[in-house]
Structure 1
Amino acid sequence: MTIRLGLGLPQMRQYDIGKDIPDVARAAERTGYESLWVFERALFPDPPTQGLYGVEGLPWPEGYRGVAEPLVSLTLAAAATERALLGTSVLIAPLHVPFQLARSLATLDAASGGRVVAGLGTGWSHDEYAAASVRPFAERGAALDELIGVCRAVWGPDPVVYDGEVTRIASAAVGPKPARPIPILLAASSGRARRRLVDRADGWMPTGIGAGAVADQLRQLRDLAAERGRTEPIATTLRVNARYGAAAAAGAERREFHGGVDRIVEDLTAYAGLGLDEILLDLQSTTRDAEELKDVAAEVYEKARAAGI
């Protein structure tokens, strides 16, 4: 079975959001990409109070200084396309009021004809939590649990009833309903997060950290699913954060998904036999503008398909 290929939309500050997101979305769909994706970065601490991903000393990319809001970005893409799935990779769950996010996703799914995929995570930036979170950082897992519960309730039949820490719905009609059950994917890596995924989600969103490591994690996840009696398959969408160009390829150490199109495709082939359902390729951080992003994305797609991906 051929792996689906998806493309990250241009949300960073070098792009003209209102013009470039619809333009890239249309071009990607014409090229053959089967899904379009957005990510969430709420702010850029200046000066930084912690490293990227919470790793001491790891700098934040300059592109994070102005990342367009994900659901607005996805709405622009929805209006410009007809077939491609519309995914979040990922929304930081605790930065959103659960009821409002559930309604926004349902409305977007209804408007787009059933194309939304909800990728969710807990985040890591203390500054983003201080600015926007509905619950403290220490309660991020509980916040994600409640968001999933609220979404399932709001997207389900009326009357909707839910009693949680943040959200209480006594009994209400809530619409519009999504066009079909919206898949929930989680970026789970720890033991507790994997159990949440197996018990409550539809799929997994790993990042490109080496084909061997992803294969090991996928095997562990499937073993856990068997232990916990899950019979439904776990959908898998691999996120690849590529850095295109000669500058990205510079340096003594060869880094995965850094370099020209041929190198990126070569690295993709290592993941092709893992049994993944989809690969999301995000190229936006190092392309100069939307024209280059469209050109590179088209070349990657064509060469990846020619290589059997």
Structure 2
Amino acid sequence: MTTRLGLALPQMKQYDLGRDVPDVARAAEAVGYDSLWVFERALFPDPPAQGLYGVEGLAWPDAYRGVAEPLVTLTLAAAATRRAELGTSVLVAPLHTPFQLAKALASLDAASGGRVVAGLGTGWSLDEYAAASARPFEERGEALDEVIEVCRAVWGPDPVVLDGTLTKIASAVVGPKPARPIPILLAANTGKARRRLVDHADGWMPVGMGVEQLTVQWRQLQDLAAERGRTRPLRTVLRTNLRYSPKPYAGDDRGPFQGAVEQIVEDLVAHAEVGLDEIFLDLQSEVRDAEELKDVAAEVYEAARAAGV
């Protein structure tokens, strides 16, 4: 079975949003990519309250000084394409009011003909929570739970009735409805988060940190699903943050998805053998502009398919 391949859209500050997003989206779909992806970075704290990913001393990359809003970016891509799925990896769900997020995702899915994939997470930035969240950082898990509950209700049949912590709907007609049930995928890597995924989500969005670690995590998740009596299959989409270079990386310490196209494809082959449904590539921080992004993306896609991915 061929692994689906996706590409991250250009959202960072070096790109022209209105020009480059539709251009890259059209080019990726024409090459053969199955999906287009966005991520969320609400702001760039200067100075930050914490390091990147909450790791003390780890600097935020300069490219985060101006990351385009994810659903606006996907809307631009939706208007420029006809086939490719439109995914978020990930939306920091608690930074959004649950009802408004559910309505926006439903509208985008209806407009695009049923192509939205909602990848959600809780985030980690204290600065982003202070600026945007309706609930405190300490309640991020509960906030994500409510977003999922509200989405399921709003996307379902009318009348919508819901009594949540933030969202109170006595009885209402809420439209437009999605063109089809929008899959909800979670980036879960802790015990509680994995239980939430197995019980309430449609799939899993890991990050490519190496085949061995991925294999262990996937096996653990499958075991947990069996323990909790889940019978529906889990859709799996692997995010890979590429560290592309025109020349092969020569050191013994090469990390996953680091180096030239042939090295990246070697890692794609290895990760595809784990048996996940889809892998998507984020190249945008490693290239000069949209033209190079399109060129490298096309080269990687063709080489990966030639290698059997």
| CA distance in structure 1 between the partners assigned to 2:14 and 2:87 by the alignment | 22
How do residues 290-305 of structure 1 correspond to structure 2 at under 5 angstroms? 290-305=290-305
Per-residue displacement from partner, 1:228-284 (whole Å, max 9, x unpaired)? 110000000000000111599476621221211111111111111111000010000
Asked if 1:187 corresponds to 2:182, the answer is no
Q: Is residue 249–residue 255 contact of structure 1 (8 Å, CA) maintained in 2?
A: no
Amino acid in the other structure paired with 1:125: S
| CA distance in structure 2 between the partners assigned to 1:266 and 1:221 by the alignment | 25
Q: State the partner residue of 1:69.
A: 69
Q: State the partner residue of 1:32.
A: 32
Deviation larger for 226-235 or 249-258: 249-258
| CA distance in structure 1 between the partners assigned to 2:235 and 2:185 by the alignment | 8
Change in Cα spacing, 1:250 to 1:164, as seen in structure 2 (3 Å) is farther
Displacement of 1:129:
0.2
Displacement of 1:299:
0.2
Q: State the partner residue of 2:78.
A: 78
CA RMSD of aligned residues (A): 1.2
Deviation larger for 250-259 or 280-289: 250-259
Displacement of 1:48:
2.2
| CA distance in structure 1 between the partners assigned to 2:48 and 2:226 by the alignment | 42
- So what's the TM-score if we normalise by structure 1? 0.98
| Percent of residue pairs bearing the same amino acid type | 76
Per-residue displacement from partner, 1:100-133 (whole Å, max 9, x unpaired)? 0000000000000000000000000000000000
Q: Is residue 48–residue 127 contact of structure 2 (8 Å, CA) maintained in 1?
A: no
Q: State the partner residue of 1:154.
A: 154
Amino acid in the other structure paired with 2:194: R
| CA distance in structure 1 between the partners assigned to 2:20 and 2:118 by the alignment | 23
Q: State the partner residue of 1:118.
A: 118
Per-residue displacement from partner, 1:168-215 (whole Å, max 9, x unpaired)? 101000000000000000000000000000000000000001111111
| CA distance in structure 1 between the partners assigned to 2:135 and 2:48 by the alignment | 22
Q: Secondary structure of the equivalent of 1:66?
A: coil
Gaps of 5+ in 1: none
- So what's the TM-score if we normalise by structure 2? 0.98
Asked if 1:95 corresponds to 2:95, the answer is yes
Asked if 1:275 corresponds to 2:275, the answer is yes
Per-residue displacement from partner, 1:279-301 (whole Å, max 9, x unpaired)? 01000001100000000000000
Gaps of 5+ in 2: none
